[in-house]
């Protein structure tokens, strides 16, 4: 938990537009912080019945079970791991936010959709790098 707080503080200092996130995420686990970002920034499109198959509006337990150690079933990324614990570069979830190995970058660059900041991406990367634990 201490490492997450330090990461959040350093990242927020590097990007002054995100300082308020330091307090928002300082009392939660790295997974809870990642889940909040996924719900807030990805949830508007990733709802029940979404074409990509991922839904981010579920409980943390359900979200975790649908991401970690699960292979993608989407046509573009079939068979690749959504989240490979300890390895963000081999995790579709993270690569789709940075440099996709399959499909296109997310979120799509469309008017009105919330974009992920570098801070958001770093929180998700940190969660995956440190073992993608549920708590």
Say how far apart CA 33 and CA 130 lie, in whole Å: 13
The tally of domains found in the chain comes to 1
Whether 17 is in a domain gets the answer no
- Exposed (0-12), middle (13-18) or buried (19+): which is 120, by Cβ within 10 Å? buried
Whether 10 is in a domain gets the answer no
Say how far apart CA 32 and CA 19 lie, in whole Å: 18
- Model confidence at 108: pLDDT above 90: no
Could you list the residue range(s) of the whole structural domain that residue 83 is in?
28-129
Q: List CB contacts of 24: < 8 A, sequence separation 6 or more.
A: 36
pLDDT band at 104 (very low <50, low <70, confident <90, very high): confident
Whether 14 is in a domain gets the answer no
Whether 7 is in a domain gets the answer no
Decide if 15 contacts 118 (C-beta within 8 A): yes
Whether 74 is in a domain gets the answer yes
pLDDT band at 64 (very low <50, low <70, confident <90, very high): very high
- Most confidently modeled of 40-54, 74-88, 97-111? 74-88
Whether 16 is in a domain gets the answer no
**Residues 70-96: pLDDT tens digits?**
998 887 888 899 999 999 999 999 999
CB neighbours of residue 131 within 10 Å: 12
Whether 97 is in a domain gets the answer yes
């Amino acid at each position: 938990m201490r490492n997450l707080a330090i990461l959040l503080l350093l990242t927020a200092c590097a990007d002054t537009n995100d300082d308020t996130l330091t307090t928002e995420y300082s009392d939660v686990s790295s997974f809870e912080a990642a889940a909040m970002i996924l719900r807030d920034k990805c949830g508007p499109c990733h709802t029940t019945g979404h074409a990509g198959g991922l839904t981010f509006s579920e409980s943390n337990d359900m979200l975790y079970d649908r991401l970690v150690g699960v292979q993608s079933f989407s046509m573009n990324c079939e068979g690749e791991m959504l989240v490979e614990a300890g390895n963000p570069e081999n995790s579709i979830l993270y690569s789709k936010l940075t440099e996709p190995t399959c499909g296109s970058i997310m979120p799509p660059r469309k008017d009105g959709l919330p974009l992920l900041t570098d801070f958001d991406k770093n929180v998700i990367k940190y969660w995956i790098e440190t073992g993608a634990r549920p708590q």
